[in-house]
Amino acid sequence: MRIEHLSDHSDVISELANWYVSEWEPYYGDTGPGDARADLEARTNREALPVGFVAIEDDRVVATVALGLDVTTKLTPSIIGLLVGQNHRGRGIGTALIETCLDVARKFGHQRLYVSTSVLGSLLDRMGWQEMGETKFLNDEHGSVYVRDL
C-alpha cells in the first residue's frame, strides 16, 4: 500500500464522494448540508490546508483522509474525512493514514492535531492520543474529541 496526495488522483473524487454519501448520509446525503465533491476538491492542495491523501493498493484507491478544519468542533488542524473502504478495514490502513497526517501537520509547523470521532477511540488511545472532550455530530450521534501534541 502507498499513500499519495489526493491532488495526484483527482480522477477518483467522484468515487470517493459516493463513498462519503453512503457512509455519512446525514451530512452528505440529499437532505444534508454537506457537498462531498466540493469538500474533496477543496482537499487537492499540497502545501496548505485542507490537504487530502489517498491510500492505494493494487492501483486502486482504498481509503482517504485529509487535514483541515473540523466543521463540528471548529478545531484545526484536524484529521477529517478518514474513510477506509469496507473491504479494506482492519488491516492498518487507517493507522497509516493517521500517521501520514501527523507527519504532514509537523511539516506544516503545527504543535497539535485534533480528531473528532465516534468510532476510532480505541485506535487513537493505542496511538497515544488524549481524549479532551465530547462532541455532538449532525446526526445527533455523540463522539469524542482527541488531541495529540506534535
SS3 string, the chain, reads CEEEEHHHHHHHHHHHHHHHHHHCHHHHCCCCCCCHHHHHHHCEECCCCCEEEEEEECCEEEEEEEEECCCCCCCCCEEEEEEECHHHCCCCHHHHHHHHHHHHHHHCCCCEEEEEECCCHHHHHHCCCEEEEEEECCCCCEEEEEEEEC
In the chain, the percentage of residues whose pLDDT exceeds 90 is 93
pLDDT digits (tens, 9 = 90+) for 41-62: 999 999 999 999 999 999 999 9
Residue boundaries of the structural domains of the chain: 2-149
Interior angle at CA 89, CA 148 and CA 26, nearest 5: 75
On the CB side of 119, CA atoms within 13 Å amount to: 10
User: In the prediction, which pLDDT does 138 show?
Assistant: 76
- Asked if residues 59 and 66 have their Cβ atoms less than 8 Å apart, the reply is no
User: What is the spatial distance between Cα 56 and Cα 60, in angstroms, rounded to a whole number?
Assistant: 5
* pLDDT band per the 50, 70, 90 thresholds, residue 36: very high
User: In this model, does residue 69 exceed pLDDT 80?
Assistant: yes
**Locus of grid cell 453512503:** 22
* pLDDT band per the 50, 70, 90 thresholds, residue 22: very high
* pLDDT band per the 50, 70, 90 thresholds, residue 141: confident
The residues that bridge with 79 in the sheet, in sequence order, are: 67
Assign domain 2-149 to a CATH class.
alpha beta
pLDDT digits (tens, 9 = 90+) for 89-119: 999 999 999 999 999 999 999 999 999 999 9
Q: Considering the entire predicted model, what is its pTM?
A: 0.94
**Strand pairing class (60-68; 112-117):** unpaired
Q: pLDDT averaged over the chain? A: 96
